[in-house]
Structure 1
């Protein structure tokens, strides 16, 4: 039986303001908040993840609704290969549903509405 290790979470803030203005005004999650989100995502997505190969990894961009559901299909950002990126896209789409949303703190929505999630095969 293979286990999978999620290795990263990067938060983005989407804004129509310039990049410099966004960096100055964007709310940021604390490290503790990021770690909590990472744990929530790992628990929900890992059972659906079927990434082959010990050296496989993938990163996707995820946009969320306030209720913890996906605002759209995850977008592949990078990965060891096409199959790994598609495996992560499928896993997120299968495991984060209206019936099973991610349970993030709604008060922090502006901080987690768009983020990048990285997972790797182990």
Structure 2
């Protein structure tokens, strides 16, 4: 089975960020988004088991909420899935592999931009 990250969506409301006197909020560039996607892919892939019985492409979307130290602020939340077993496997893998603050190293200056991430994952049969 091939595992492919379809992409991630950073959820942030720029209108509500920052306070008077703060520097302008930093935004992630497309290159930084790709680096984050790659880092998440590598971190989760090492804990994600093969999902048996997949006859066709399946996908799952998970909400990840992070603390400033790059650890998960809450248990990953399954937003949508085309296969319950695949969705549950993704949640378990994310919780296990992202629990340690050394799993990811996102730039803390951009915390408001990566605090909440909607991760779209695609599972493909062999």
Which bracket does the TM-score occupy, shorter chain normalised? 0.7 to 0.9
CA contact (8 A) 1:13 1:26 kept: no
Greater fraction helix? 1
RMSD: 2.3
Q: Distance in 1 between matches of 2:2 and 2:34?
A: 20
Report how many residues are paired.
115
Aligned position for 1:65: 67
Find the counterpart in structure 2 of residue 30 from structure 1. 29
Shift of 1:60: 0.3
- Map 1:103-114 onto structure 2 (within 5 A): 103-114=105-116
TM-score by length of 2: 0.80
After superposition, the Cα gap between the structure-2 partners of 1:51 and 1:121, relative to the gap in structure 1 and judged at 3 Å, is farther
Correspondence 1:46 to 2:48: no
Q: Which runs of 5+ in 2 are unaligned?
A: 17-23
SS in 1 for 2:105: coil
Larger Rg: 2
Deviation beyond 6 Å, 4+ runs, structure 1: none
State the TM-score, normalized to the length of structure 1. 0.82
Q: What is the rounded CA distance, in whole Å, between the counterparts of 2:31 and 2:81 in structure 1?
A: 26
